[in-house]
């Protein structure tokens, strides 16, 4: 693949958006490659956690590719938005947890890519923003919806209406990111979190993500019913039986088997 690099280390997949000359901007080809990588990850039962980052440190993803968008008509823009939303929604709904390791610019589509991930870790040089209104458009890959859900409606409206950029410390303060680390420690920290997740029962982690994602979209009683069902289904797994047996017998569990 030309624009998306993929690597696997133990139970962790690392996706790197790599269009450095365009600050890793998302064009159709990059989105298509990202979609193909998601296919591979979803089909690989040996992957328990995913990290997404940008190449060369200057940008996570600086946005969607303006040079590709500038001549679109209404129909072309709708198709582009639909495809980007489809890919990002797949990331959001992927059973495996996804960590955004945000290095440098995360603007427009880059901020939206980070938002569809489960956990966001930023380097100290990270810059976030939804500057679409300065270009005569609005966020088109979910920014108007996910940003409000993550940081609250008032702050999301402020950032989107003004097109302002914020640094990593401000992003941490408003809850846009989970943690800020020095640039040279970014991937190391993301891997540490991913390994901690991967060390837990994969089935339980998947059910946890599904229950949270479904629950936030509905009323509490419905959400609790999702949780009850997911909780119950864990008891059909060998991992639950092995872990609880080891706990009661005070023996060391050799590891989860993802079954």
Q: Is the pLDDT confidence value at 1 over 80? A: no
> What is residue 209's predicted lDDT score, i.e. its pLDDT?
96
> What is residue 57's predicted lDDT score, i.e. its pLDDT?
82
Quick check: is 227 catalytic? no
Q: Give pLDDT tens digits for 75-106.
A: 999 999 999 999 999 999 999 999 999 999 99
Q: Give pLDDT tens digits for 5-55.
A: 999 998 999 999 999 999 999 999 999 999 999 999 999 999 999 999 999
Pick from 1-5, 134-138, 167-171, 226-230: least confident: 1-5
Quick check: is 158 catalytic? no
* CATH architecture assigned to 202-249: Orthogonal Bundle (1.10)
> What is residue 128's predicted lDDT score, i.e. its pLDDT?
98
Return mean pLDDT, the chain: 96
| Assigned token pair, 68 | 């590709």
> What is residue 259's predicted lDDT score, i.e. its pLDDT?
92
Catalytic residue from among 36, 42, 79, 112: 112
Q: Give pLDDT tens digits for 150-181.
A: 999 999 999 999 999 999 999 999 999 999 99
Q: Is 239 helix (H, G, I), strand (E, B) or coil?
A: helix
> What is residue 248's predicted lDDT score, i.e. its pLDDT?
95
- 203 touches 258 (CB < 8 A): yes
First to last CA, the chain: 32
Catalytic residue from among 10, 68, 132, 229: 132
Half-sphere exposure of 190 (CA within 13 A, CB side): 31
Domain map (residue ranges) of the chain: 4-198, 202-249
Q: Look-up: residue for tokens 């209104």?
A: 133
Q: What is the pTM of this model?
A: 0.95
* CATH architecture assigned to 4-198: Alpha-Beta Complex (3.90)
């Amino acid at each position: 693949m030309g624009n998306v690099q993929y690597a696997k280390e133990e139970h962790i997949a690392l996706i790197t958006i790599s269009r450095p000359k365009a600050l890793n901007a998302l064009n159709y080809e990059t989105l298509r490659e990202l979609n193909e990588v998601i296919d591979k990850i979803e089909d690989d039962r040996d992957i328990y956690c995913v990290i997404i980052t940008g190449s060369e440190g200057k940008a996570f993803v600086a946005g969607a590719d303006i040079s590709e968008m500038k001549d679109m008509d209404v129909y072309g823009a709708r198709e582009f938005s639909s495809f980007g939303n489809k890919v990002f929604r797949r990331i959001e709904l992927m059973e495996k947890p996804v960590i955004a390791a945000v290095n440098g610019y995360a603007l427009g589509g880059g901020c939206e890519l980070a938002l569809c991930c489960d956990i966001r870790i930023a380097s100290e040089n990270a810059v976030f923003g939804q500057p679409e209104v300065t270009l005569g458009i609005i966020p088109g890959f979910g920014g108007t919806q996910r940003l409000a859900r993550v940081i609250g409606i008032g702050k999301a409206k402020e950032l989107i209406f003004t097109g302002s950029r914020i640094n990593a410390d401000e992003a941490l303060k408003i809850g846009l990111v989970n943690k800020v680390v020095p640039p040279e420690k970014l991937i190391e920290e993301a891997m540490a979190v991913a390994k901690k997740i991967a060390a837990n029962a994969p089935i339980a982690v998947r059910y946890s993500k599904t229950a949270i994602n479904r629950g936030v979209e509905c009323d509490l009683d419905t959400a609790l019913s999702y949780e009850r069902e997911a909780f119950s289904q864990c008891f059909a797994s060998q991992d639950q039986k092995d872990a609880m047996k080891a706990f009661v017998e005070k023996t060391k569990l050799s590891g989860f088997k993802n079954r």
